[in-house]
Chain A
Amino acid sequence: MAKRIEVSGLHAYYGGVHAIEDISMTVEPRSVTAFIGPSGCGKSTFLRTLNRMHEVIPGARVEGKVMLDDEDLYASSVDPVAVRRVVGMVFQRPNPFPTMSIYDNVAAGLKLNGVRRKSQLDEIVESSLQGANLWNEVKDRLGKPGAGLSGGQQQRLCIARAIAVQPQVLLMDEPCSALDPISTLAIEDLIGKLKSQYTIVIVTHNMQQAARVSDRTAFFNIAGTGKPGKLIEIDDTSKIFTNPEQKATEDYITGRFG
């Protein structure tokens, strides 16, 4: 299922603002890649270019190439809606649909894409909730509103919703920043479990988290306010956290900066 992402020469803009500059990297399948770096350095923007969510914002555009195995996501013939079915996303704040029950939240992506058979939906809802480690907590109240769950449960509900459409890649934009340590742990365990099936990219401000969950880590930085964000280096997580190539990375990780 999982696919490799290869990015080359990627620039992203918000209107006239150059947000990220010339990023090239490879994201390996069946592994977790973490993006770290100071606020405003373009991590989230870059993440959103990987499933064409960047262009949802008015005036935003992208230059460069993102290859998913051998398909160019930005080829003119590619439908952004189709891209987002293949590359799923989990957001910083849990955002279950407020009008829908737990069941409907998980089934939303399937239903809105035309899957109607009840037995098939039931099956996918159960497997997705199990995949998100939430099944045992909610199996008796699938008809209750999704907004009634705790923050950590809501976030796992959002993960279940994202994996229900069976994407190849899962992007996570600071998925634990609004959660308490116990829920964070639950999500991190889940990420460890999911990486056997998906390509996972996670943005995080928590360096211990990057060290705990990721196989590879990319450090982003910004030269100054108003300047575009850049990729400083990407390498195996153990190398980034013990012996980075770049001085800036070391400064950031050891807390002498940012």
Chain B
Amino acid sequence: MTSLTTPKGAGLSSVSTGRKIKDKLVQGFVYLAFVLALVPLLSVLWTVVSNGVARLDPTFFQFSMNGVSGKDPGGGAYHAIIGTLEQVLICSVIAVPIAVLTAIYLVEYAGNGRLGKVVSFFVDVMTGIPSIVAGLFVLALWLLTFGFEFSGFAGALALTILMIPTVVRATEEMLKLVPNDLREASYALGVPRWRTVCFVILPTAMTGIVTGIMLAVARVMGETAPLLLTIFFTKAINTDPFSGPQGSLPTFIWEQAADPNQNSIDRAWTGALVLIAIIMLLNLAARLVARRSAPVSR
């Protein structure tokens, strides 16, 4: 215990005091970093819950803002919730297959080929696109050039552009983690490559892929700027994502928070709370689904 200098060959001695202090110090730093990282998260959650709970009533889920002005109490986000769910669903239906197939191509088929490198480069470029640029792109192409009207679908297209690169990257990383042994084992059984991908590689990587998709869904669900340019704005319920302006939770929050009346601000907080809750519920559901197909040991 007291021997601070251990001569070589002196046998086993207890850990020196200096090392013990360093150990405790670093341990302390790690816990401190953990707490620091947790502070903003808890603070956001607390603020949103405490402010949003006031308007968390059935009315909020049953009514739109049609005919409700900023200073009026009541009103709800039914139109916005419907809009967000439809837009993100359409976006996922388009983006997930494209992104997962791209990742499969990059990992399983491209090898060191030129096309693989080009695709990989453009995925990187897409990752860096600011969300408003995706909105402007859809506005310019889909609405102004092709002449379609504002719609939930146009919003979904803008979100798709944002979702694809995130899902490609996440899926790629997960596929790379699948041990090569498994691919070889499958090939050696005389299984063609595409069946190997479908029945061996994808199930093995499924948990990670689902997590990646959920993170991407959570990200696009909170996007406001591209939606303002594409779904436009409405206070009324529009269940048809293919025609006419539609609501969405982020634009609902943005609009309500911009109004100086307390009733509007309360609605904005509740909107934020509902958005977070939807994302968390989706996350939980995805985890449950993924767990059932997860690789098992013991």
Assuming the contacts A91-B181, A95-B181, A97-B200, asked whether A53 and B190 have C-beta atoms less than 8 A apart, the reply is no
CA distance A148 to B297 in the complex (A): 5
Among B60-68, B69-77, B89-97, B191-199, the stretch that binds chain A is B191-199
A93 at the interface (CB under 8 A from B): yes
B130 at the interface (CB under 8 A from A): no
A152 at the interface (CB under 8 A from B): no
Size class of the A contact interface (CB-based, 8 Å): 20 to 34
Chain A residue numbers with a CB within 8 Å of B199 are: 108, 111-112
Chain B residue numbers with a CB within 8 Å of A82 are: 190
Over the window 256-293 of chain B, the binary record of Cβ atoms lying under 8 Å from chain A Cβ atoms (1 yes, 0 no) is 00000000000000000000000000000000000001
Chain A residue numbers with a CB within 8 Å of B184 are: 53, 56, 89, 91, 95
A131 at the interface (CB under 8 A from B): no
Chain A residue numbers with a CB within 8 Å of B196 are: 112
Distance of B117 from chain A, by nearest CB (Å): 14
Q: Are B297 and A162 in contact (CB under 8 A)?
A: no
List residues 13-62 of chain A with CB under 8 A from any CB of chain B: 51, 53, 56, 58-59
Q: Are A98 and B181 in contact (CB under 8 A)?
A: no
CA distance A11 to B189 in the complex (A): 24
Assuming the contacts A91-B181, A98-B204, A112-B195, asked whether A53 and B187 have C-beta atoms less than 8 A apart, the reply is yes
Chain B contact residue count (CB 8 A cutoff): 28
Q: Are A165 and B190 in contact (CB under 8 A)?
A: yes
A145 at the interface (CB under 8 A from B): yes
A81 at the interface (CB under 8 A from B): yes
A109 at the interface (CB under 8 A from B): yes
B182 at the interface (CB under 8 A from A): yes
B3 at the interface (CB under 8 A from A): no
Chain B residue numbers with a CB within 8 Å of A148 are: 296-298
Q: Are A85 and B298 in contact (CB under 8 A)?
A: no
Q: Are A108 and B188 in contact (CB under 8 A)?
A: no
List residues 24-75 of chain B with CB under 8 A from any CB of chain A: none
List residues 154-168 of chain A with CB under 8 A from any CB of chain B: 158, 161-162, 165
Considering only CB atoms, which chain B residue lies closest to A111 in the complex? B199
Q: Are A95 and B185 in contact (CB under 8 A)?
A: yes
Assuming the contacts A91-B181, A95-B179, asked whether A109 and B200 have C-beta atoms less than 8 A apart, the reply is no
Assuming the contacts A91-B181, A93-B181, asked whether A162 and B296 have C-beta atoms less than 8 A apart, the reply is no
A229 at the interface (CB under 8 A from B): no
| Cross-chain contact of A147 among B185, B186, B189, B297 (Cβ < 8 A) | B297
A88 at the interface (CB under 8 A from B): yes
Can you sample 13 A-B contacts with CB below 8 Å? A56-B183, A58-B111, A91-B188, A93-B181, A95-B184, A96-B185, A98-B204, A98-B297, A108-B189, A108-B191, A113-B189, A113-B191, A145-B297
Query: What 5 A-B pairs have minimum CB-CB distances, sorted nearest first?
Result: A85-B190, A109-B189, A98-B295, A89-B188, A95-B181
User: Apart from A108-B191, A162-B188, what 4 extra A-B contacts exist at CB < 8 Å?
Assistant: A84-B188, A98-B297, A112-B191, A147-B298
